[in-house]
Structure 1
Amino acid sequence: MSECIRVAVLISGSGSNLQALIDGEKAGELPIEIACVISNRPDVRGLERAREAGIEAVTLDHKGFTSREDFDRALAETIDSYQPDLVVLAGFMRILTPEFTGRYLGRMLNIHPSLLPKYQGLHTHQRALDAGDSEHGVTVHFVTAELDGGPSAIQAVVPVLASDDATTLAARVQQQEHIIYPMAVRWFAEGRLSMADNLALLDGEPLPPQGYQVRSSFV
């Protein structure tokens, strides 16, 4: 696929993964056009990153809606107005309704800071430490109605060090996030990554449950 695909990026905070995608697009490494960045929280750093890059930045404050369903409907209308080929959740801290996830099934990716299916939800780094895990990491996965439960596309594995606390472990994992999220987006844009029958496919072949796995010896 030689033409650029249109991407909508959803954020709730600083947008460091958004920045990795912006940098990849600007460098010509990602065949994408980030059509819009949408935040459910006003005045976050990620919106500034979008504006600095000349990308349309939109705030849709969830606090202005009386229900999750109403917010998701308004969010879908906003996304659809930009006609994206792919929706990327980059630190978007909202539990999405099945109606919303079904609307973008197979063309919405999320990144989650654990080796899914381990540690769905919050506080993943501390949970990995509390469990005494020797390895931790991050997963890019397709979004389904199950929270952090869609098929995995790619994982980066990092060692857990004896000296780690949740902050140091999170920082090391985040470095890998900025590598594998652009990889997954590039694969999708090139037509290599897809989803069918609740499986992630790379070049038409089903990926294992953990997805394509990258192991990092970085300490």
Structure 2
Amino acid sequence: MSAAIAVLISGRGRNLQAIARACADGRVDGRIVVVVSNRVEADGLRYARQQGIETTVLSHRDYPDRESYDRALMAVLDRHAPDVVALAGFMRILTPPFVAHYRGRLLNIHPSLLPRHPGLDTHRRALVAGDVEHGATVHFVTEQLDGGPAIIQGKLNVHAQDTEATLAERVMNEIELKIYPQALAWLARGDVALDDGAVRFRGRHLDAPLGLDALEAAFR
């Protein structure tokens, strides 16, 4: 049976679109059962509705604290019984009970080469730091912000003429839109799992995240 995938967004939803396309054409053995956003104006909601995907807006402004918001979010998600919860530009720090509830099935994509540059403004910080390489990472979510075990990373060279905007666009197009659907495909078919705090990939624990060379042909 194909995996039921819930996607959480706050903005444009470009990774959401990549995931939806990969599900539609069979590269990911899954289906998106709901898209949830904390922002009613998130452009990704319009895309999801155009594709016939159920959407829910759950504004964090309607709740007094993170704990109550996350309890409400869990209730929304659990109605859809997701096998996977994919954070795709969801701009919320999740509480430990939420993370524990979905442990092993909660993924995030972060626009940096973790553990370098956790948190926000990663492209600007990479440029300020003079990084020669930059990229993105798909990881299991744990209680540590952007600190969960990494499944796959993609790297690219930072160009001398790069701005924050051009670097963000290159990381999105050349890396994020490839590695996130790939990681979800692996998770959906059981190739990858969270095992005692580490990533198990096809029966072995990873000492380091996989790279772009691990992408299957359909995701390159």
TM range (shorter): over 0.9
* Residue 55 of structure 1: aligned partner: 53
Task: Give unmatched runs, 5+ long, in structure 2.
Answer: 214-220
Displacement of 1:208 in angstroms is: 2.4
Q: Pick from 4, 7, 23: which aligns with 1:6?
A: 4
Equivalent residue for 2:75?
77
The secondary structure found in structure 2 opposite 1:92 is coil
CA deviation vs aligned residue, 1:74-124 (integer Å, no higher than 9, x gap):
000100000010000000000000111011111100000000000000111
Which deviates the most, 196-205 or 91-100?
A: 196-205
1:18 equivalenced with 2:16 (yes/no): yes
Q: Which residue of 2 aligns with 1:196?
A: 195
Q: In structure 1, what is the equivalent of residue 184 of structure 2?
A: 185
What code does the residue aligned with 1:179 have? K
Aligned length: 212
The whole-number CA distance in structure 2 between the counterparts of 1:63 and 1:154 is: 34
Separation in structure 2 between the aligned mates of residue 53 and residue 201 of structure 1, nearest angstrom: 33
Root-mean-square deviation (CA), in Å?
Answer: 0.8
Q: Does 1:68 pair with 2:66?
A: yes
- Cross-structure match for 2:218: none
Runs of 4+ in 1 over 2 A off after TM superposition: none
Q: Deviations over 1:156-193 (max 9, x none)?
A: 00110111111111100001100000000000011001
1:97 maps to 95
In the other structure, the counterpart of 1:108 is 106
Given candidates 163, 166, 169, the residue that maps to 2:167 is: 169
Q: 1:207 — aligned with what?
A: 206
What do the CA deviations read for 1:121-154 (whole angstroms, capped 9, x no partner)? Answer: 0111111111111100000000000000000000
Could you state the TM-score of these two structures normalised by the residue count of structure 1? 0.95
> What are the equivalent positions in structure 2 for 1:38-53 lying under 5 Å apart?
38-53=36-51
Partner Cα distance (1:183, 1:146) in 2: 24
1:57-80 alpha-carbon deviations (Å, 9 max, x no partner):
100000000111000000001000
Structure 2 length as normaliser, TM-score? 0.95
Percent of counterpart pairs with the same letter? 49
Deviation for aligned residue 1:27: 1.3
- Counterpart of 1:132 in structure 2: which amino acid? G
- Tell me, which stretches of 5 or more residues in structure 1 are unaligned? none
Distance between the aligned counterparts of 2:177 and 2:106, measured in 1?
18
